[in-house]
Amino acid sequence: MTLPRAIVDEQGVHFETGVPVRFRFLRNTTKAPRMGARFQQNIEPAGRYMVHNETPGDVLPPWSTGMITFNTPLVILFNLVPNNPSYDASSWKAILHKEFKLRGKALSRYLQMLGYDGIVTVQVDTFSNGRLNLATREIVALPAIGKIPKRDPGDHGDIAPWQMTVEQFRTWSPWVPPEGYGGQSMTPAAAMALPKGEYETLFALGTYQDPWRLLEALGKGYEGSWPRSLHLIPAVHGNVPIWVYRASDVGDIIPGSYVTELREYAIAHGQTCIPGGRFKVYRLKVRPSELMTLGDPHEFIYVPDTPAEAHRRIVVKALRQKKRVPLHVLQEHGLRQA
C-alpha cells in the first residue's frame, strides 16, 4: 500500500514530505487520558502531539506554544475519505498500523529508521461549489528513540542492504556461504575493497589478442553437458550488461557473490552443493567488467565497478518490490518512493 501523501500551504508555511519545515505549534501539555481504540490510541505512533497555529495569541497553561523544525516530515492525509474527520479504518493511524504492522514506540522507531522525524496529517474537505479545502490536523514530533545505533564497520545488525547508506553498504560484512557450498563467495566489504587492476575480469579477457581465455571462460572447451555462452562475446567486447545467476538459500546477488552467466549451471550448483537442495535462483544484470574470473568456465565473482552503483541497483529493486526505503537512502541516489 502506498502511503496517502499530501501537500499543503497553510498560514504561510509549506508542508510536504521530505521538505524541511519550521512552524509554530500549539499543544496541550496535560497527559491525554487513555481512551484505547476510541481515538485509535491503541495503534497510534508515540510522540509529542500538537497542531499548527502561527498566531495562537496569549497561551495559558496547560497549553504551550513554540517553534519546531522537521527536517524530513511525513505529510499524509488525515483520512482517505474527504470530509471525514473520524478515526476509522481510513484514518492515518489505521493506515500506518496496517502498512507497517507496528504501533506505539515500535512504529515511531520504524518511521525514524525510514528517515522521518515528524508526521503532519492533512484533512481534505470538499464543498458543493467544487471548492477544495486542505488544512493540517494532528501533527506528531517523533521522539528521540530507536535511532540506528553506531556499530563497528561491517556490523549493521538486521538492517537490510536497501536500508543502508552507501558507506554502510561499502563496509557490509554479512555471513557468506563457505567453500563447502561449492562456491567461493566473498563478503561485500572484501569484494568492494579489491584494488582495480589486480584481478582479471571477463571484460579484460575480451581485450586480449588471443581469444582462447575468453572462449574458455564462456564454456567453449568445457567437457561437460553445459551449453556454451559464446553468443555473449559481442556484449563482452562492448562491456554491455549481461544477466548473471546465483543459486542460493541465503539471499539475492550482492557484491562478492559467486555467480554464473548460465542459468542451467546455477541450477546444477544449487542441486549438488546446497544442503537439502532448497534454493532459489536469483539474477542480476551487470557489466562484464564487474565479473572477476575464477579460472574455470562459467564461474565468476560479482565485483561492482563502484559501491554506489551496486547499492543503487539494490535500492531500485527494493522499490520495484514495494519495500519501504528510508528517505535518506532515496535522497542519496536521487530516487523517490512510488
Per residue in 109-141, pLDDT (tens digit) is: 888 878 889 999 999 988 777 788 899 999 999
Q: Could you tell me the residue range of the domain that residue 215 belongs to?
A: 161-333
Query: Are residues 168 and 280 located together in one domain of the fold?
Result: yes
What is each CA distance from 317 to 213, 227, 285, 310, 326, in whole angstroms?
A: 33, 29, 12, 11, 14
What is each CA distance from 134 to 8, 127, 273, 276, 280, in whole angstroms?
A: 6, 12, 60, 58, 48
Question: Does residue 2 lie in a domain region?
Answer: no
Given a contact cutoff of 8 angstroms between Cβ atoms, the answer to whether 2 and 319 are in contact is no
User: Using 50, 70 and 90 to split pLDDT, how confident is the model at 293?
Assistant: very high
Query: Are residues 38 and 90 located together in one domain of the fold?
Result: yes
Query: Are residues 206 and 112 located together in one domain of the fold?
Result: no
Q: Could you tell me which residues come within 8 angstroms of residue 65 by beta carbon, excluding any fewer than 6 positions away?
A: 24, 25, 26, 27, 53, 56, 59
Q: What's the total number of domains in the chain?
A: 2
The residue count for the chain: 338
| Mean pLDDT computed over 32-52 | 89
pLDDT of residue 289: 97
pTM metric for this prediction: 0.60
pLDDT of residue 144: 64
Rounded-to-integer distance, Cα 255 and Cα 306, Å:
10
Q: Which of 76, 111, 141 is the last residue of a domain?
A: 141
User: Using 50, 70 and 90 to split pLDDT, how confident is the model at 33?
Assistant: confident
Q: Which residue, 38, 11, 7, 35, is CA-closest to 22?
A: 11
Collapse the DSSP code of 266 into the 3-class scheme (helix H, G, I; strand E, B; otherwise coil) and give the result: helix
Indicate whether 274 pLDDT > 80. Answer: no
Question: Does residue 68 lie in a domain region?
Answer: yes
Which of 133-142, 157-166, 209-218, 227-236 shows the lowest per-residue confidence on average (mean pLDDT)? 157-166
Q: Which residue, 160, 163, 123, 155, is CA-closest to 139?
A: 123
pLDDT of residue 257: 92
Rounded-to-integer distance, Cα 37 and Cα 193, Å:
52
Question: Does residue 208 lie in a domain region?
Answer: yes
Query: Are residues 133 and 217 located together in one domain of the fold?
Result: no
